[in-house]
Amino acid sequence: MGLSFWLKGNVGTMIISWFLFAISSSLTMPYLSQYLHMLGASDIEIGVVRSIGSLAVLLTILPGGVLTDVIGRKRAIVIGTWGIALVQFLYAVVVDWRQFAVVYVIDWALHFYQPALTAILLDSLPPEKRGGGMMLTAVLPQVPWLFLPPVGATSWIISACWECASRLLSRGLYQYL
């Protein structure tokens, strides 16, 4: 039984989508604290932002389970996933850490459908394959975290160097005008 067995149907869709989400997360999330510092947050405020994000998902999981029972697993997953995908664009337009905190809380609150994902995953696996399926869906999407954080750091450094070079160049040109 190869990997192709696991990459079919609901299980395959979840593994692939979680893998794709992990690529972007592993490039950016290790540097969340630095980004919040750049937006003006102190160390305490960074901890508060992360904590209220966790609190948001904690407070929405149980009502999300009830909502999932009412509207169905598939609809809850589609709504939550599209909501999360759309909220990601808001991170690009925040100008201070307070705005970031609001987006972060919305992002984590939209994870209300996580129990529905687990239920669909378990229902999609034959009983004798559930252990392996759960292991694979937990491990495979984490592979980008092994390799991509240094790539994210490299792009962060290149971006900072480019910004410094452009500032120096603009100052130099300004002197001659």
Structural domain for 83, as ranges: 3-147
Start-end of H helices in 32-143: 32-38, 43-71, 73-90, 97-109, 114-124, 130-139
Q: What's the CATH code of the domain at 131?
A: 1.20.1250.20
Place of tokens 């809850």: 76
More confident residue, 106 or 142: 106
Residue 146 vs residues 38, 55, 141: alpha-carbon distances, Å: 26, 28, 10
32 SS3 class: helix
Could you read off the pLDDT of 37-93 as tens digits, one per residue?
888 999 999 999 999 999 999 999 989 889 988 999 889 989 998 999 899 899 889
DSSP state of 127: G
- Is it the case that residue 171 has pLDDT exceeding 80? no
For residue 45, being part of any structural domain is answered with yes
Would you state the pLDDT for residue 111? Answer: 92
Would you state the pLDDT for residue 24? Answer: 81
Could you read off the pLDDT of 116-153 as tens digits, one per residue?
888 888 888 888 888 888 888 888 888 887 887 777 77
More confident residue, 176 or 17: 17
Would you state the pLDDT for residue 47? Answer: 94
The answer to whether the CB of 117 falls within 8 A of the CB of 84 is no
Would you state the pLDDT for residue 177? Answer: 54
CB atoms under 10 Å from CB of 42, counted, come to 11
Enter the tokens of residue 171: 């100052």
Residue 75: Cβ-neighbour burial (10 angstroms; 0-12, 13-18, 19+): middle
Would you state the pLDDT for residue 149? Answer: 77
Flag whether the pTM goes above 0.85. no
Question: What span, in angstroms and rounded, lies between the C-alpha atoms of 10 and 122?
Answer: 10
- Is it the case that residue 101 has pLDDT exceeding 60? yes
Question: What span, in angstroms and rounded, lies between the C-alpha atoms of 141 and 129?
Answer: 18
Instruction: Name the domain count of the chain.
Output: 1
DSSP state of 140: G
Could you read off the pLDDT of 6-41 as tens digits, one per residue?
667 777 888 888 888 888 888 778 888 888 988 899
More confident residue, 123 or 107: 107
